[in-house]
Chains A and B, each alone.
Chain A
Amino acid sequence: MNDSMEPFPPPDRSINGNGNGNGNGNGHRAVQELQPWTDAGGDSAGWNDANSGWNDADSGWSDADSGGGADGNGWQAEAWEEPQWDEPQAPGNEASAERLTPAALRAVVFRRAPLGKRGLDEHQVNNLLDRVEAELVRLTQEKKALEAEVKLLRDNAMQQQAPQRPEPVAPPREQPQATPKETGLARVDAAEQAASRSVASRVQEAHVYAASLLSQAQQTADQYIQDAQRYSRELIEDALLRRGTMLAKAADEQDVAGDESVGREIARLRAANQTYRGKLRDHFELMLMNLDEWETAEGIGGSA
């Protein structure tokens, strides 16, 4: 049970559902744009964005199959060669919903200019520049809204710490709804309020995601530590066990030696004793003999 690495399946979905149910459909979508990897709804524009070249290529195929040819761009002839950046159909409205991502930018492949012209397709390049510009504007706006939000939350936290509310850092999503007057939201105009709410919802979702990530990291760490500790415990137990058996074995061998072979050992030692004494005697006799020989040769013994 503890070892399961499964990151909370049922509540996850229900919370997402909650986020939507609270009237933040807008925010939900925005979050998906912020985090394409969450893949919760699968219905919004955010996820498709990076692959738009592929999607459109698909639609190009199906168009070709059905023989409709309704696609006014006229690029079917090259469509299968490589994924292509397709110009948005209606740059005014549709493109603004699709977010420009670094991945999308990387995937851009400009067509060559039509015959007779040199360089890249001017129209396409301009189009992309427009989108980049729109994206930058949007990012700037978002940044402003976020700054406002941070300030708002900071004020909230300070206000709440003073009268000792039970929750100093409340989930930001709830704040604007619960006590709009208190939080000083009234100071912000309506547009900014909507923006900050969607931002707050994003912050909330990001928080949930971060907490899930942290949980998984903690679980992994716990697992590693547990494994390491178990391994070291097993090693130590094994070593102690071996030590025990070795000691027992040594004791046994000692006993056996004590019981059986004492008599044999004594006999062996006695025999050795005799042998050595005999050899020693031989040795001494030899040396005496040598001494005699030496004295005789030098004429010492004789003269004394």
Chain B
Amino acid sequence: MPGTSVQLSPHGAGAPAFAQVKANFELVAKYGDNVPLYLFSDLFLRAPALRELFPVQMRRQRDRLMTALSYAVEHAQNLSEITPYLHQLARSHRKSGIQSEHYEQWSASLVHTMQRFSGNVWDEAVEEEWRDFLSLLTRTLAEGARQDASLRPAYWTAEVISHERRSVDVAVLRLLVDRPFKYVPGQSAPVEVKQWPNMWRYYSMANLPRRDNTIELHVKADGAVGRTLVRDVREGEVVKLGAPVGTLTLNPNTGRNILLIAGGTGFAPIKAILEHVTRLPVPPWVSVFVGAREPAGLYDLDVLRGWEEKFPWLTVRTALSELEDQSVATTGTVGEAVSRYGRWEGYDAYVCGPPAMVDSTVDMLRANGFSDSRIRLERFASAVTPSRRFAT
């Protein structure tokens, strides 16, 4: 009886410490990638139909599983602390077709896997504790999925209505989503192409939500999904979208001016935020800095220049870090360009781009007196999971 033993736990306050689970996980985690590898094999043997919910290449899934699991085990004594995270996890499971009953199969496989890697350390007490912990965990996940199901579909389908190749490896796609697709400007959504089943890649919507349900995505041809979206996908093809996520959204109530910094296709959410600003009754001063390696990387400058002429509160500056072209932009990283313009006291910064660019830009911003509360950022392909704690 899992329920009773939870309440009878000697650790008080109705919250079991799950010390054995933690110790056991610590022990088993030493086997690294073999653990999730075996776990998935066991799961797929028990429920072969589940295999189709996962991509062919499983390496990243295994990492994610262990990251999430170690995070949950770490907070085992108080799972309610990480309920938002677990609910988000359950939400992202929905798009792949994972149902609540699959959590039970997963639990069974997990217990079996832990037993297999524990050797002689395994006994009934450990098993009992794992089962209790997993029943709590999966209950939270199932609850998260249930709540989410009452709010939105598991996924959306979207038709590609235009596909513009802006440079060798950048394309701007416009998609027509089948149902209303609510998001906050600056958020991103996972995209799946039919060529790569169950491989989801996050892309930011580069526009305000529109009444006609069209969205604009800026795609760079890296990664399997990105390459397919840039090179293979044609108008008329259909992709799947998951629920939008992300915190790189405009905070319009600070009363401060806005500094937008974009690198490469990180311009997409910046553009959405900028469009958001244009709808404010009293727009603040906005400075946009767009950086790229070469002129072709500034793939969406025309729109931006048009807005700059139209809105007196907007200034746009560009920077090229590798191939210089003084007629288009200043030379150097976008961070250097921002730094050169100096006084940013009254500004909030929003940064999006490749990880290296974001990191160096944030360093620069801090050096220019930005406190972290005044910086919002998103790295490309940023996982929804917490930072990686699990060493393989």
Contacts and interface: CB of A to CB of B under 8 A. Distances in A.
Nearest to A219: B37
B44 A214 contact: yes
Interface stretch (B116-124, B233-241, B341-349): B116-124
Interface stretch (A7-15, A81-89, A125-133, A147-155): A7-15
Contacts of A248: 323
A167 B131 contact: yes
B134 interface: yes
A212 B38 contact: yes
A210 B122 contact: no
Contacts of B40: 215, 218
B71 to A, nearest CB: 20
B34 A8 contact: yes
Contact of A18 (B56, B101, B122, B323): B122
A2 interface: yes
A226 B59 contact: yes
B32 interface: yes
Interface string A194-215: 0000000000000110111111
A58 B325 CA distance: 84
A166 B110 CA distance: 12
A248 B323 CA distance: 9
Query: Which of A166, A170, A222 has most B Cβ within 10 Å?
Result: A166
Contacts of B31: 8, 11
B38 A1 contact: no
Interface string B4-45: 000000000000000000000000000111100110111011
B119 A221 contact: no
A138 B294 CA distance: 76
B169 A211 contact: no
A3 B31 CA distance: 13
Contact of A2 (B56, B59, B112, B168): B59
A243 B118 CA distance: 54
B57 interface: yes
Interface string A157-195: 000000000111111000000000000000000000000
Contact of A167 (B42, B108, B116): B108
A96 interface: no
A139 interface: no
Contacts of B107: 166-167
A17 B120 contact: yes
Nearest to A207: B45
B148 interface: no
Interface string B47-71: 1000000001111000000000000
Contacts, number: 101
A28 to B, nearest CB: 16
Contacts of A7: 34
Query: Which of A170, A208, A215, A226 has most B Cβ within 10 Å?
Result: A215
A167 B47 CA distance: 13
Nearest to B47: A169
Interface in A227-256: 229, 232-233, 236, 240, 243-244, 248
Contacts of B257: none
Contacts of B101: 168
B104 A211 contact: no
Instruction: Bin the interface of chain A by size.
Output: 35 or more
Interface string B298-333: 000000000000000000000000010000000000
B195 interface: no
Nearest to A248: B323
A213 B45 CA distance: 11
B332 to A, nearest CB: 19
A225 interface: yes
Given A168-B104, A212-B38, A219-B37, A8 B57 contact: no
B57 A222 contact: yes
B55 to A, nearest CB: 9
A219 B9 CA distance: 40
A166 B134 contact: yes
Contacts of A166: 2, 104, 107-108, 131, 134-135, 138
B149 interface: no
B81 to A, nearest CB: 23
Contact of B119 (A11, A212, A222, A232): A11
Contact of A244 (B56, B224, B323): B323
A211 B45 contact: yes
A218 B117 contact: no
Q: 9 nearest interchain CB pairs?
A: A14-B119, A214-B41, A211-B41, A167-B108, A215-B41, A225-B57, A11-B117, A215-B37, A211-B42
Interface of B: 2, 31-34, 37-38, 40-42, 44-47, 56-59, 101, 104-105, 107-108, 111-112, 115-120, 122, 131, 134-135, 138, 168-169, 221-222, 224, 227, 294, 323, 392
